[in-house]
Amino acid sequence: MNRQIRQLAVGIMACYVVLFVALNYWQVGRKPELDARFDNTRQVLREFNRPRGPIVTADGQVAAVSFPTAPGEPYDFRREYPTGDLLSDITGYYTFAFGSTQVERMYGDVLTGTTTEQQVRGLADLLGGDVGTTGTVELAIRNDAQEAAQFLLGGRTGSITVIEPATGAIRAMYSNPTYDPNTFVNADFDVAQAAITELQNADGNPLLAQAYQERFMPGSTFKVVTTGIALESGLVTPDSVFENEREWVPPQTNDPIQNYNGSLCGGDLPTVFARSCNIPFAQMSTLLGPEAMVGGVSAWGIGEELPIDLPRPAASTFGDTENLAQELPLLAIRGFGQSEVQMVPLHMAMVAATVANGGRMMEPYAVQATYDQAGRVLDRTSPEVWKTPISPATAEIERQFMIGVAERGTASCCIALEGGIPVAAKTGTAELGDPTNPDLSHAWIVAFAPADAPRYAVSVVLTDVQSTADVAATGGRLAGPLAKGMLDFLLTGPGSQPISPSTVPPSTVPGDGP
Amino acid sequence: MTALDETELDVVAESPLARSRRTTELTLLVMAALITGAAYTITALGTNAEIPPGIVVFVGILLGLLLCAHVVVRLVARGADGTLLPLAALLHGIGFVMITRLDDELAGLQATWSLVAIVAFVATMLIVQRATDLARYSWLFFFGGAFLLLLPLAPGLGVNINGARIWVSLGPINFQPGEFAKIALAIFFASYLADRRELIAASTWKVGPLHLPEPRYIAPIVMAWGFAVVVMVFQRDLGSSLLFFTLFVVMMWVATERVSYLLIGTVLFGAAAYFSWTQFTHVQTRVDIWLDPWADPLDRGYQIIQSLYGLADGGITGTGLGRGNPDQVPEAQNDFIFSSIGEEWGLLGASAVLMAFVLLVGAGLRIALRTDRTFEKLLAVGLTTIVGIQGFIIIAGVIKVVPLTGITLPFVSYGGSSLVANYILLALLIRLSDSSARRLRELPDDPTPSERWKAWRLTRRLRREKRRAVA
């Protein structure tokens, strides 16, 4: 019988060898294929069920936080956005079935504590009895500035962006239409799907942060760029004088270019800049020629995705430049920000900030620091220069021009700041040329203040506005008061108080929430 | 041998071999307890990011239970193989950790069942002090086993759960009598075959070209096949049916030393399986899912697909204890506990479980090789086959090697009946191991307490009679 027993032993052993081989087949051999299958939710589910740290604003407002759910719920945590629609452009959302966006997406590894550094620190902490590795993301955005921006827009479509010229820190970036992530992030699949589909199909792309993920025709605010290129090339100086005229016919066409409202406009460069005549900038653009203009705008970062620390930034564009030499009228029109030129609102704020910052364009950032679960700094964003499109001298000239705009130009109606703080600005009214609605335009303003020691640069755009009998829909009249409101709030208003120093809380341990 | 002398009875001769086996067992048990405790802690860290508050108590109770079992083995079976109990404890521990991780409520129940199982183990060790005693009650085991097996079919008692009628509901307690029936029938078969193996092997009955044993000797075998068919057809429990049948065929084969039984058994079972495949939709469903689970990924194939996704997600090193999502698999704590282990412990952990089963089977069959009594040999073969094949059937099912059949993974799965039955089985194996060691004179074959009690009464009677005679 012993022979049979030995054979039996071999037989059962063989059975288990088969199991071992099969286990290798599934866990090693076919792992990549199974992991990649569309209906395999394991990895996203594992990620989803991890504790997730909070996102807080620079002034300490919690913008996103997780709470553990009751036992029996499908997921272990519930993600909440206490500020509703105020910061959703920045925080984005975090869902199981529909992915994540913005900071929730870019900083997911920090929030869940899966960066190598956090893992190593967590291991060390574990030995000390402390567990968990979730991280905190601290935004550069200020909640109070964001609230001011939301208030100033008052429901109108458009966006307000405030950055610090010297660092690139984004202190406010709010746009309408927007959305409240709380309406779907913790909802059942069907409800969430319906809500997201509705938002995706809604007018104005509420799910996008218009301020940095969309671009709009900039109108005359673009003259800051054209002037910069012309000054840098030596084509013009502050003393250059432009003829006082109503119409100008560019080469290769008989169709004349007019100033805004067909007005008579001319004078020296500071004057045509302050009055925002179109013809001088069309002429500058044409004289510079396609090559210099295309090269010039790319020095301002136009055509590149903005180097922001948030996902899917838009790139500003100077339009199709293939045959520009044969299309000089187009080149002329683009010189004052019409036709195919489109600028990202954040990029326009960066253009103003470049003038304010002696010609250096800083990389914009929405996140200023990340912290581990014990409140220790993981990473602090250090300001980086992105482009240097103009020299300090040119920047100084343009600064004076922009002060002129605020003091006696197109913005003088509306931007004088509280307390007489000097301000510099440039307005823009982008005529969309909609044949059914010729009055439809985007009202723009870019500004920075104090003009002599700039602390904030702001860009405001109100999209799809129309002139009425009383008020012409110009950038100065419509957008100007918003820039003033924003700068007043930050320089002399409630926002001028120093924000509480960065005592960022240790990442909220789930369960200890407010 | 005049061993019934009082002075000689008091001598407890010490055997170095027995002592080293018990030391091995104790060391391995402590290791199993520590592994379980560590896994329990890590799992809690993985799920809640906190060290479980009762961890010291947990490990304490765990060690206490295992020490109880160890002390009893030391007292009444000190010659037994030192690896059997630790291997079972390790599997039990891993299973318990996984159940805790999957469902707190079930974990509480499983803890209670663990206690009952250890008590059953101790009771079996104490009651069955001579393995040969079991052979004396072989027909009792036969009828008892048959009764238990058929009990779920009794109207009013049996309950259908998940399509299989293998449960019996007695008031608040649900149990699966089949888990115990397989042990009873293994004992019966060992005894029956030990007595009649030569007669069966002789094959004196000629039917055409075939040489068959006398009909009366193969009648019980045919009945066993009948049991398997009944289980398959009426209880719809494919896995248990396969297990029973494999058990009988293997024991017949080992007892008679004739390969033909293996072949006949395979053919008979194949025929029965084919018949049920043609006749029963639930069998067809199982086979279809096995062939292509992705044909119906959200319903019938869901469980196995989720199991495979879990295994793949685990990869070589696993997702980490408490960090996977094994609860995606329906019935993860039960039939699919192995895929949960594969997911969170990875290929390495799952292979460790496979190794534990291989070692358990190895230890069991070593007992069968070492002992010189046919009954004990066959019983060890039977019991080992139950553990080994049951483990294979269910693991193979959840990793899509064979069609899935719902049975428990011994020692690992959630389930009171299974745990208690397997600890009884383990106690019997340890008993067989001890008696083989004594037979091999590795330690003195001292009488069991009940034998001493009888001997003491006998000497008293003798003395009394002597005194009376003197008087």
- pLDDT of A403-423, one tens digit each? 999 999 888 888 999 999 999
What is residue B103's predicted lDDT score, i.e. its pLDDT? Answer: 82
* Closest chain B CA to residue A4: B254
Is pLDDT of A130 > 70? Answer: no
Helix A2-24 and helix B374-398, axial crossing angle in degrees, nearest 10: 10
Chains A, B: CB contacts within 8 A come to 127
Instruction: Note whether B399 contacts A26, CB cutoff 8 Å.
Output: yes
CB contact under 8 A, A5 and B381: yes
Mean pLDDT of A416-434: 90
A315 in helix, strand or coil?
strand
Average pLDDT estimate for A148-171: 95
User: A463, A393, A400, A450: which is closest to A426 by C-alpha?
Assistant: A400
User: Which of A12, A40, A52, A77 has the highest number of chain B CBs within 10 A, making it the mutation to test binding with B?
Assistant: A12
CATH number of A213-365+385-496: 3.40.710.10
DSSP string, B354-395: HHHHHHHHHHHHHHHHH---HHHHHHHHHHHHHHHHHHHHHH
Complete DSSP assignment for A231-288 = HHHTS--TT-EEEEESEE--TT-S--EE-GGG--EEEEHHHHHHHT-SHHHHHHHHHH
Confidence of residue A471 (pLDDT cuts 50, 70, 90): low
Give the residue carrying structure tokens 């049951």.
B390
B143 and B86 in a single domain? The answer is no
* Number of compact structural domains in chain B: 2
CB contact under 8 A, B377 and A15: no
Does the beta carbon of A132 lie under 8 angstroms from any beta carbon of chain B? yes
Q: Judge residue B380's burial from the number of C-beta atoms within 10 Å of its C-beta, 0-12 exposed, 13-18 middle, 19 or more buried.
A: buried
Asked whether the beta carbons of residue B388 and residue A15 sit closer than 8 angstroms, the reply is yes
Contact residues on chain A for B361, CB-CB shorter than 8 A = 9, 12-13, 16
Residues A273 and A227: beta-carbon distance below 8 Å = yes
Does residue B451 lie within any of the structural domains? yes
Residue B293 inside a domain? The answer is no
d(CA B274, CA A313): 63
Please answer yes or no on whether A9 and B361 come within 8 Å at the CB atom: yes
User: Helix, strand, or coil here: B36?
Assistant: helix
Residue B296 inside a domain? The answer is: no
A123 at B interface, C-beta within 8 A: no
Closest CA to A173 of A211, A140, A143: A211
Whether residue A5 and residue B365 make contact (CB cut-off 8 A), yes or no, is: yes
Give me the pLDDT at residue A157, please. Answer: 93
Average pLDDT score over residue span A439-455: 92
**In the prediction, which pLDDT does A513 show?**
35
pLDDT at A512: 37
Average pLDDT over residues B330-357: 90
* More confidently predicted of A380 and A112: A380
Which residues 66-105 of A have a C-beta within 8 angstroms of B? 71
pLDDT band at B7 (very low <50, low <70, confident <90, very high): very low
Q: How confident is the model at residue A177 (pLDDT cuts 50, 70, 90)?
A: very high
Q: List the Cα angle B82/B83/B88 in 5-degree steps.
A: 125
Q: Do A19 and B354 touch (CB under 8 A)?
A: yes
Contacts of A9 in chain B (CB under 8 A): 361-362, 365
User: For residue range A188-219, what is the model confidence (pLDDT) as tens digits?
Assistant: 878 888 888 899 888 888 999 999 999 999 99
Q: Smallest Cβ distance to B399: which of A1, A19, A131?
A: A19
Strands (E), B64-218: 158-161, 164-170, 173-175, 205-207, 210-212
CB A495, CB A158: distance < 8 Å: no
Question: Which has the minimum average pLDDT: B218-232, B234-248, B429-443, B456-470?
Answer: B218-232
pLDDT for res B159? 76
Give residue A125's pLDDT. Answer: 67
- Check residue B11 and give its pLDDT: 38
Same-domain pairing of B171 and B207: yes
Same domain, yes or no, for B48 and B181? Answer: no
Instruction: Choose among A327, A495, A46, A195: nearest CA to B344.
Output: A46
What's the confidence (pLDDT) of residue B447?
81
User: Where residue B349 falls among pLDDT bands split at 50, 70, 90?
Assistant: very high
Task: Give the pLDDT mean for B286-292.
Answer: 87
Question: Which chain A residues are Cβ-neighbours of B388 within 8 angstroms?
Answer: 12, 15
Q: How confident is the model at residue B438 (pLDDT cuts 50, 70, 90)?
A: confident
User: What is the tens place of the pLDDT at every residue in A366-383?
Assistant: 999 999 888 888 899 999
User: Residue A173: pLDDT above 70?
Assistant: yes
- How open is the CA angle A306-A308-A310, to the nearest 5 degrees? 120
The two tokens of residue A149 are 């921006």
Rounded to an integer, the average pLDDT of B215-239 is: 75
Query: B250 to chain A nearest CA, in Å?
Result: 8
B115 and B167 co-located in one domain: no
Task: Decide if pLDDT at B4 tops 50.
Answer: no
- Closest residue of chain A to B102, computed from CA coordinates: A72
- Interface residue of A42, A127, A508 to substitute, partner B, most B CBs within 10 Å: A42
Q: Are residues B430 and B325 in the same domain?
A: yes
Residue A482 in tokens: 């918003």
The one-character DSSP state at A494 is: G
Asked whether residue B106 falls in the same domain as residue B149, the answer is no
Q: Which residue has the higher pLDDT, B172 or B412?
A: B412
Question: What are the chain B neighbours of A118 within 8 Å (beta carbons)?
Answer: none
- Report pLDDT for B178: 85
State yes or no: pLDDT of B362 exceeds 50.
yes
Output the pLDDT for position A209. 93
Residue B428 and residue B124 in contact, taking contact as beta carbons nearer than 8 Å: yes
d(CA A308, CA A305): 8
pLDDT category at B376 given cuts 50, 70, 90 is: very high
- In 3D, which of B231, B137, B111, B244 has the Cα closest to residue B186? B244
Query: Does residue B136 fall inside a structural domain?
Result: yes
**Cβ B365–A9 below 8 Å, yes or no?**
yes
Q: In this predicted structure, what is the pLDDT of residue A508?
A: 45
pLDDT cut 90: percent of chain A above it? 57
Amino acid B79: pLDDT:
86
Q: In whole angstroms, what is the distance from residue B290 CA to residue B141 CA?
A: 36
**Alpha helices by DSSP H, A357-497:** 392-408, 480-491
Mean pLDDT for chain B?
85
**Among the listed ranges A116-120, A124-128, B184-188, which one has the minimum average pLDDT value?**
A124-128
> Of B254, B319, B350, which has the smallest distance from its Cβ to A23's Cβ?
B350
Cβ–Cβ of A15/B350 closer than 8 Å?
no
Domain containing B337 equals 1-127+304-471
The closest alpha carbon to A4, from B384, B206, B184, B83, belongs to B384
The per-residue pLDDT for A223 is 94
How many Å apart are CA B254 and CA B378, to the nearest integer? Answer: 7
Q: Do A9 and B313 touch (CB under 8 A)?
A: no
pLDDT at residue A66 is higher than 70 = yes
Q: Which two tokens stand for residue B103?
A: 């469902």
Mean pLDDT computed over every residue of chain A: 88
CA distance B366 to chain A (A): 9
pLDDT at A85: 93
Q: Are A35 and A43 in contact (CB under 8 A)?
A: yes
Rounded to the nearest angstrom, the minimum Cα separation between A65 and chain B is 17
Question: Which helix (H) or strand (E) covers residue A444, if one does?
Answer: strand A441-449
A14 touches chain B (CB under 8 A): no
Same domain, B92 and B147: no
Which of B50, B100, B311, B366 best tests the A interface by mutation, with the highest count of A CBs <10 A? B311
Across the range A463-469, mean pLDDT stands at 80
Please compute the mean of the pLDDT values over residues B175-199 and round it to a whole number: 88
Q: Does A43 touch chain B (CB under 8 A)?
A: yes
Lowest mean pLDDT among A62-71, B151-160, B255-264, B386-395: B151-160
In a domain, B350, yes or no: yes
pLDDT of residue A392: 95
Instruction: List beta partners, residue A174.
Output: A160
Q: Give the minimum alpha-carbon distance from A32 to chain B in angstroms, rounded to a whole number.
A: 8
Write down the pLDDT at residue B333: 80
How close B315 gets to chain A, by Cα (Å)?
Answer: 5
Residue A194, both tokens? 């319906």
CB B151 within 8 A of CB B177: yes
Same domain, B267 and B364: no
Are residues B403 and B362 part of one domain?
A: yes
CB A343 within 8 A of CB A215: yes
- CB contacts of B342 in chain A (<8 Å) are 23, 26-27
With vertex at residue A459, the alpha carbon angle to CA A407 and CA A399, rounded to the nearest 5 degrees, is 40
Average pLDDT over residues A111-120: 82
- B100 in the same domain as B178: no
- Whether A1 and chain B come into contact, CB under 8 Å, resolves to yes
Q: Please compute the mean of the pLDDT values over residues A468-484 and round it to a whole number.
A: 82
Lowest mean pLDDT among A255-259, A348-352, A452-456: A255-259
Going from N- to C-terminal start, the domains of chain A cover 213-365+385-496
In a domain, B295, yes or no: no
Distance from CA of A105 to the nearest CA of B (A): 21
With respect to residue B284, please indicate whether it lies within any of the assigned structural domains.
Answer: no
Q: What is the pLDDT of residue B282?
A: 79
Partners of residue A3 in chain B, C-beta under 8 Å: 257
Decide if A12 and B361 are in contact by the 8 Å CB cutoff.
yes
Say whether both B38 and B107 belong to one domain.
yes
* Chain B CB within 8 Å of residue A119 CB: no
pLDDT digits (tens, 9 = 90+) for B38-56: 998 888 887 776 777 777 8
Is A37 in the B-facing interface, judged by CB distances under 8 Å? yes
Contacts of A34 in chain B (CB under 8 A): 308-309, 312-313
pLDDT of amino acid B117: 93
Sort strands A441-449 and A424-431 into parallel, antiparallel or unpaired.
antiparallel
- Give the pLDDT band of residue A499 (cuts 50, 70, 90): low
Residue B294 located in a structural domain: no
pLDDT of B5 over the 50 cut: no
Domain edge (last residue) among B225, B244, B279: B279
What the block records as the tokens of A92 is 């984005």
